């Protein structure tokens, strides 16, 4: 059953990735990248923008938390069985590697499952990955607005094997933002930390 669910998650991630390509770059650009499931990493992609959410300490925050240093931003949910833990671990490894090289980067995990991901749940979750990781959640409409700004596609999927009978399908891109909170590039799943840190150098 676990193998079947994981395969299904991979298929959904690829489909959502292609959908995101079409949404951000238009049909022609999306078709050019559909076979690889990737997006152009640089250019005029309108990714990022204003948001108002609640961090894992219960504090109201906005997109200004991305200012002052380069950041990595990932959308997911705490009950995610595969992609989210892998990517958050990768983010943590990139942050540690960057620190060794004298670079401070922010780590931001935004939940697309606010019904279950309360600040308390987020606090316990992000602290398991890195002491500097910030977990963000909020009201349903606030999360939807943040996801729209980052062109993140997500949906609730009925799954009797998941807690509360549902899981969340979502795009799995990791976003790199510069010290002004502007989009730099995206990374696909399992990008190595060295590549991530290399892209963020010179962005302080």
pLDDT for 105-121, tens place per residue? 999 999 999 999 999 99
Q: How far is CA 57 from the centre of its chain?
A: 19
Among 105, 112, 153, CA closest to 135: 112
Tokens of 102: 């004298």
Q: How far apart are CA 202 and CA 145, in angstroms?
A: 30
Q: Specify the DSSP class assigned to residue 195.
A: H
Q: Are 27 and 34 contacting, i.e. CB atoms less than 8 angstroms apart?
A: no
Average pLDDT value for residue range 81-99: 95
Instruction: Output the pLDDT for position 189.
Output: 86
Q: Are 50 and 149 contacting, i.e. CB atoms less than 8 angstroms apart?
A: yes
Residue 177 in this model has a pLDDT that exceeds 60: yes
CB within 8 A of 47, min separation 6: which ones? 24, 149, 150, 151, 175, 183, 186
More confident residue, 34 or 72: 72
Residue 11 in this model has a pLDDT that exceeds 50: no
Tens digits of residue pLDDT in 53-86: 999 999 999 999 999 999 999 999 999 988 999 9
Residue 149 in this model has a pLDDT that exceeds 80: yes
Phi and psi dihedrals of 26, rounded to 5? 90, 165
- Band the pLDDT of 162: cuts 50, 70, 90: confident
Average pLDDT value for residue range 81-104: 95
Question: What average pLDDT does the structure give for the chain?
Answer: 83
- Band the pLDDT of 202: cuts 50, 70, 90: confident
Q: How far is CA 126 from the centre of its chain?
A: 13
- Stated pTM of the model: 0.79
Question: Lowest-pLDDT range, 14-28, 126-140, 157-171?
Answer: 14-28
Among 191, 186, 198, 187, CA closest to 101: 198
Q: Are 151 and 20 contacting, i.e. CB atoms less than 8 angstroms apart?
A: yes
Q: Are 106 and 179 contacting, i.e. CB atoms less than 8 angstroms apart?
A: no
Q: What is the CATH superfamily name and number for domain 41-200?
A: Glutaredoxin (3.40.30.10)
Among 78, 177, 159, 162, CA closest to 118: 78
Residue 32 in this model has a pLDDT that exceeds 70: no
Instruction: Output the pLDDT for position 45.
Output: 61
> What residue ranges do the domains of the chain occupy?
41-200
Q: How far apart are CA 188 and CA 38, in angstroms?
A: 7
């Amino acid at each position: 059953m676990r193998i079947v669910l994981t395969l299904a998650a991979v298929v959904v991630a690829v489909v959502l990735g292609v959908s995101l390509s079409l949404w951000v770059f238009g049909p022609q650009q999306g078709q050019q990248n559909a076979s690889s499931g990737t997006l152009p990493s640089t250019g005029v992609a309108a990714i990022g923008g204003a948001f108002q959410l609640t961090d894992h300490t219960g504090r109201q925050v906005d997109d200004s938390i991305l200012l002052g240093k380069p950041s990595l931003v990932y959308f997911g949910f705490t009950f995610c069985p595969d992609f989210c833990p892998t990517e958050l671990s990768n983010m943590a490894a990139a942050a540690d590697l960057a620190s060794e090289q004298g670079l401070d980067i922010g780590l931001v995990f935004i939940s697309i499952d606010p019904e279950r991901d309360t600040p308390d749940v987020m606090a316990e979750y992000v602290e398991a990955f890195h002491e500097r990781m910030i977990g963000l959640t909020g009201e349903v409409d606030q999360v939807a607005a943040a996801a729209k700004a980052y062109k993140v596609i997500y949906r609730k999927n009925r799954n009797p094997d998941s807690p509360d009978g549902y899981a969340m399908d979502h795009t799995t891109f990791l976003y790199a933002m510069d010290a002004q909170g502007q989009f730099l590039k995206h990374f696909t799943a399992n990008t190595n930390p060295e590549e991530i840190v290399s892209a963020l150098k010179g962005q302080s």
